[in-house]
Amino acid sequence: MIITMKNIFAKNFGLRVCMTQNNLFDIEKHISIKEINSDKFWFKINPIVINADPFLFVKDEILYLFYEEQKTTFGKGVIKFIETTNLSDWSKPKVVLEENFHLSFPFVFRSGEDLYMIPETAENNSIRLYKPNIDLTKWTYFQTILSGHKYFDSSIIEYNSTFYLFTTIISANIYTLKLYFSDSLDNTWVEHPCSPICIGNKASRNGGSVIKYNNVLYRPAQNCEKIYGEKLAIYKINELTKTNYKEKLLYKDVFSKQIPFYSIGGHHFNHVIFQNEIIVASDALQCNYNIFEIWKRLIKTIKSNF
């Protein structure tokens, strides 16, 4: 039986929004403008243990930050958002999507004039599209893209008039990254001839949606070989067509452990351009100081090793 400090304590997540005018992936030059951290109270009942998977979106000169919030170790995730018009003053967090199953990874994107969200709905064995009301404060189920598996951390990119869907399935605790394509969101999704494009826990789970930066595509990938959420690699996508897919490792871990916020690790990266600034959202592992949650995790860790 192996019980480590990270197994028990490093299970919380907090998120950070930064601003930079330099290299998108040069974390050490990012300037923090907003943080939402997990609760760190020893005896709080139902603490917030996860604020993670942050996605930025710009609409009508408003910057929105969507993210997962989860209370207690085995609680159900919901999707919240905050918004700002000036990068200084932010609204209070508001729940914008809740289901009777766990939600996370609220990827928001635009296709034509329509807005969509694809949250992770693995507990529902599906990938589902949601559409918002006018001020994005309420999201409603629209349609199912795929079903029949537990799909994790799914995202879509429209590239050269084709929609590409990246999603992860898991079997025997091993991740497999699948790639699908379609001519429209309403059509049948076809598995790509190069799929699966990655197998194993080193790079097969997305750490955010595919990034388009300076007309180059990048795929953020979680490295979960040792501890979930400990590292985030960046892969440069060199070719993406209906017949071919090629990528190359660019950064083994984009998060510098020299920065206190990322000292334990992180697993998500997202960006937008807002008011001529590069705005980056990321998350990081944080230690859990709640005695009730530590006890729950200790018991689970002991049981999983017998």
Check whether 10 has a pLDDT greater than 90.
no
Number of domains in the chain: 1
pLDDT at 154: 98
Q: How far apart are CA 137 and CA 133, in angstroms?
A: 7
**Which pLDDT score, from 0 to 100, does residue 7 have?**
53
Of 18-22, 80-84, 149-153, 231-235, the least confident: 18-22
Q: pLDDT band for 122, please (50, 70, 90 cuts).
A: very high
Q: What pLDDT does residue 287 have?
A: 81
In this predicted structure, the answer to whether residue 92 has a pLDDT above a threshold of 90 is yes
- Please check the confidence at residue 8 and state whether its pLDDT lies above 60: no
Q: Residue 97 pairs with which residues in a beta bridge?
A: 79
Q: Which of 22-26, 31-35, 61-65, 98-102 has the lowest mean pLDDT?
A: 22-26
pTM tops 0.85? yes
pLDDT reported for residue 249:
98
Instruction: Please tell me the predicted confidence (pLDDT) of residue 48.
Output: 87
284 has which bridge partners?
14
Q: Calculate mean pLDDT across residues 23-45.
A: 89
- Strand 104-111 and strand 114-121: the pairing is antiparallel
Residue 1: what pLDDT?
Answer: 36
Task: State the pLDDT at residue 228.
Answer: 87
Cis peptide before 106 (omega within 30 of 0): no
pLDDT reading at 9 higher than 90: no
C-alpha to C-alpha distances, 66 to 137, 270, 287, nearest whole angstrom:
10, 11, 23
CATH (domain of 258): 2.115.10.20
**What's the 3-state SS for the chain?**
CCCCHHHHCCCEEEEEEEEECCCCCCHHHCEEEEEECCCCCCCCCCCEEEEEEEEEEEECCEEEEEEEEEECCCCCCEEEEEEECCCCCECCCEEEECCCCCCEEEEEEEECCEEEEEEEEHHHCEEEEEEECCCCCCEEEEEEEEECCCCEEEEEEEECCEEEEEEEEEECCEEEEEEEEECCCCCCCEECCCCCCEECCCCCEECCCCEEECCEEEEEEEECCCCCCCEEEEEEEEEECCCCEEEEEEECCCCCCCCHHHCCCCCCEEEEEECCEEEEEEEEEECCCCHHHHHHHHHHHHHHCC
The pLDDT tens digits of the residues spanning 191-247 come to 999 999 999 999 999 999 999 999 999 999 999 998 888 999 999 999 999 999 999
Residue 36 has pLDDT above 50, yes or no: yes
Residue 215: domain span? 5-304
